[in-house]
Copies of this chain bind each other. A is one copy, B any other.
Amino acid sequence: MSEIPTAPPSGFRDFLPEACLARARVIDAISRVYRSYGFSQISTSAVEDLAVLTGKGGGENEKLIFKILKRGDKLASAQGSSELADLGLRFDLTLPLARYYSRHRGVLPSPFKAFAIGPVWRAERAQKGRYREFYQCDADILGSESSCCEIEVISAVLSVFKDLALPAPAVLLNDRRLLFALCDRWRVPPDKRGDFCIALDKLDKTGPDAVLRELGGLLGGAASEELRTFVQSGTADPALLSAAAPGHMANLLAIRDGLAKLFPDYGSFAVSPALARGLDYYTGTIYELRLATSAGSLGGGGRYDGLTEKFGGPRTPACGISIGFERLMLLMEGNVKVPGPDACMTVFSEDLRPACLRLAAQLRGRGLSVDVYPGAAKLKTQFKYADSRKARFALVLGPEEAAQEKIKAKELATGQEYLLKLDELVERLA
């Protein structure tokens, strides 16, 4: 018997009631803010055809797909081959959105502002703070090329952080087309641009020396002095950038200034020429939100104008942002109020249970949360239970109270006891 695991599989998690409630509250806050910006929630299945998940510019994530074994006859005839799986768990919310939009665009508003919140799965090596099942909270706008889309999705996430009373983040902005112009300047072969970005994206993790070694490999020789300075400082001469891609630089500055006007007292906004992001499907602007107090990014996204085309539809301009929910929860830890029920109703004796259940039903009907002790136990045990539930009050309806048509309410934080009629009790609990 002891061989059956009671822990979830490595990299997966159970959430205890308090953690679960904290997560639910933060998800509620994110949904509320996204809705206030006019985004509509959509939902797709956890499972996608493998053909949807592969070959779409998911970068390293494509190697991390949890694949689902074929079933029945299909499995039998696949035995021994390498095509044992036909389905997979989604590794992000962007590919499913692109598929969804390609299928349903005819009945969706245009432009389409969508948000999605849900788990994604990646078969990464499990390590502290990195999970195989984690939540993403994405907001996207499809069908508009305007830079107001970038302003809108970044604003939405800033409003979420503000709503959650998080410290103001730094917003880093860049554009893949600027990076590509620099690639041309530094003679990175066009077919190696994606690899260039992925290598650059590791700057935070592996440091400039390792990145330069990797870039040397891509270039087939040592990096130029200019490229070395770029990688080591993470910045580039603004004149150089403007010269490389003047229109895109102006666009970035317009986004930066638009955001700075909307958030004069919250956040900083800067073009960050070495910001690369790790996904191949980005075609234009890219952005990331970081906190001084926390390693890595709290969220980010970019423009992926070509993705819907890969599902057979026309080219659709699109840009989106994703909140790194698990990292956000680490920051929120302990800051989310997780109250217990308003009251725990004790059961004095079995013959009084019906009266206790009726009272609880009345209180619930008035919008209160009331736990009734499920079982028979000494009052002392029942009070301990009320404590363990973090209830605000424990209620007693014994023969004395019943005779007076009153209820005894004990405030557990203070020990104060009250003898109250139903209406008085509702008032005290509310």
A residues apposed to B, CB below 8 Å: 1-9, 12-17, 20-21, 23-24, 31, 35-38, 40-49, 51-52, 66-69, 71, 79-80, 84-85, 87, 89, 99-100, 102-104, 107-111, 113-114, 119, 121, 123, 132-133, 141, 143-146, 148-149, 151-152, 155, 159, 258, 261-262, 309-313, 341, 344, 347, 353-354, 357-358, 361, 364, 367-376, 385, 388-389
Residues of B with C-beta under 8 A to A309: 1
- Check A37/B364 contact, CB under 8 A, given A145-B375, A374-B113: yes
**Are B6 and A99 neighbours in the complex by a CB distance under 8 Å?**
yes
Closest to A125 in B: B72
- Check A104/B5 contact, CB under 8 A, given A148-B357, A385-B110: no
**Are B8 and A374 neighbours in the complex by a CB distance under 8 Å?**
no
Residues of B with C-beta under 8 A to A373: 111
**Are B51 and A5 neighbours in the complex by a CB distance under 8 Å?**
yes
Closest to A41 in B: B20
Residues of B with C-beta under 8 A to A89: 46-47, 68
Interchain CA distance A375-B109 in the complex, whole Å = 13
Q: Among the listed B109, B258, B357, B372, which residue makes an inter-chain contact with A357, where contact means beta carbons less than 8 Å apart?
A: B258
- Check A43/B15 contact, CB under 8 A, given A149-B374, A262-B361, A385-B110: yes
| Closest chain B CB from A402 CB (angstroms) | 16
Interface of A, helix, strand, loop or mixed by DSSP: mixed
**Are A148 and B16 neighbours in the complex by a CB distance under 8 Å?**
no
Residues of B with C-beta under 8 A to A6: 99, 102-103, 311-313
Interchain CA distance A67-B370 in the complex, whole Å = 40
- Check A20/B42 contact, CB under 8 A, given A49-B9, A145-B375: yes
What are 5 of the A-B contact pairs (CB < 8 Å)? A4-B51, A8-B44, A144-B375, A146-B375, A148-B374
Closest to A102 in B: B6
**Copies per complex?**
2
Residues of B with C-beta under 8 A to A258: 354, 357
Closest to A107 in B: B16
**Are B45 and A155 neighbours in the complex by a CB distance under 8 Å?**
no
Q: Among the listed B36, B46, B146, B388, which residue makes an inter-chain contact with A374, where contact means beta carbons less than 8 Å apart?
A: B146
Interchain CA distance A23-B310 in the complex, whole Å = 30
| Closest chain B CB from A106 CB (angstroms) | 11
Interchain CA distance A159-B362 in the complex, whole Å = 12
Residues of B with C-beta under 8 A to A119: 46
The CB with the most chain B CB atoms within 10 A, among A48, A99, A109, A111, is that of A109
Residues of B with C-beta under 8 A to A99: 5-6, 8
Interchain CA distance A145-B376 in the complex, whole Å = 9
**Are A45 and B374 neighbours in the complex by a CB distance under 8 Å?**
no
**Are A7 and B103 neighbours in the complex by a CB distance under 8 Å?**
yes
Interchain CA distance A323-B104 in the complex, whole Å = 30
Interchain CA distance A46-B36 in the complex, whole Å = 30
**Are B5 and A375 neighbours in the complex by a CB distance under 8 Å?**
no
Closest to A19 in B: B43
Interchain CA distance A152-B371 in the complex, whole Å = 10
Residues of B with C-beta under 8 A to A370: 36-38
Residues of B with C-beta under 8 A to A155: 357, 361
Interchain CA distance A20-B107 in the complex, whole Å = 15
Residues of B with C-beta under 8 A to A9: 45, 47-49, 87
Q: Among the listed B40, B66, B262, which residue makes an inter-chain contact with A21, where contact means beta carbons less than 8 Å apart?
A: B40
| Closest chain B CB from A274 CB (angstroms) | 29
Interchain CA distance A9-B114 in the complex, whole Å = 21
Using A12-B45, A36-B364 as known contacts, list a sample of 15 further A-B pairs with CB atoms less than 8 Å apart, ordered by residue number in A.
Answer: A3-B51, A4-B310, A8-B45, A12-B47, A14-B43, A14-B103, A20-B41, A37-B369, A38-B341, A38-B372, A47-B133, A111-B373, A144-B374, A148-B375, A258-B354
